[in-house]
Amino acid sequence: LNGNGSRELEEPLLDASGVLTIGGRPFRVNSQTILEGVPSGKSQVVLSMEKGFERLYSRTTEIETVEVDEKGDTRLEIGFAKRSSLNISIIDETGDYLYEVVSLNVDGVEFQVFGLIELVGLVFGEHLVEVVDLPKGYVVSDNFRTVWLEPGSNGDLTISVEKE
């Protein structure tokens, strides 16, 4: 289990544990584990991490099946990344926070924003932010924004609104 979500030569290992079920057989795994008794051939794989782990980390490697050769020499690397956060500020033409309700849609989830909002526990990667509804009399230059978040980073997005 690696701990930064990217594939590098010297990836840090994640100090975590869980249960990796291969072909219906559960195996306890830690950051680096040698498994014995894994069935050879192609098997379905399910990974369950310890409780609370998913709040801090997001899975970066999708694994549904694994194929183990007859010698049993198969290496399986599962990537995780720290979850990220995003601060979204709504400001008016004076540069102050807009203290009126603005509706935003972030990756398909709608939020009501009053000046600013901090979204925590986001997976790293690209996120789509859409301005869904503005207070009467206000406009925005572009209703759609994209934000890229690095693993474990805190991103900032400022949306400027103007009076019509």
Do 158 and 115 fall within a single domain?
A: yes
CATH number of residue 152's parent domain? 2.60.40.10
For residue 6, what are its two tokens?
């990217």
Q: What is the pLDDT of residues 2-42, one digit of tens each?
A: 555 555 555 567 777 888 888 888 988 888 888 888 878 88
Do 56 and 103 fall within a single domain?
A: no
- The model carries a pTM of 0.65
Please give the tally of structural domains in the chain.
2
Do 88 and 157 fall within a single domain?
A: yes
Do 118 and 108 fall within a single domain?
A: yes
Do 69 and 106 fall within a single domain?
A: no
Do 71 and 102 fall within a single domain?
A: no
Do 72 and 123 fall within a single domain?
A: no
Do 49 and 111 fall within a single domain?
A: no
The domain boundary residue, chosen from 82, 104, 137: 82
d(CA 156, CA 124) in angstroms, rounded, equals: 14
Do 89 and 158 fall within a single domain?
A: yes
Region of residue 60 (left: phi > 0; alpha: psi -120 to 50; beta: else) = alpha
Q: What is the pLDDT of residues 119-149, one digit of tens each?
A: 988 888 899 999 999 999 999 999 999 999 9
Q: Are strands 116-122 and 144-149 parallel, antiparallel or unpaired?
A: unpaired
Region of residue 157 (left: phi > 0; alpha: psi -120 to 50; beta: else) = beta
Q: Exposed/middle/buried for 120, CB within 10 Å: 0-12, 13-18, 19+? A: exposed
What is the residue range of 23's domain? 18-82
Residue 45's φ and ψ, nearest 5 degrees, are: -130, 135
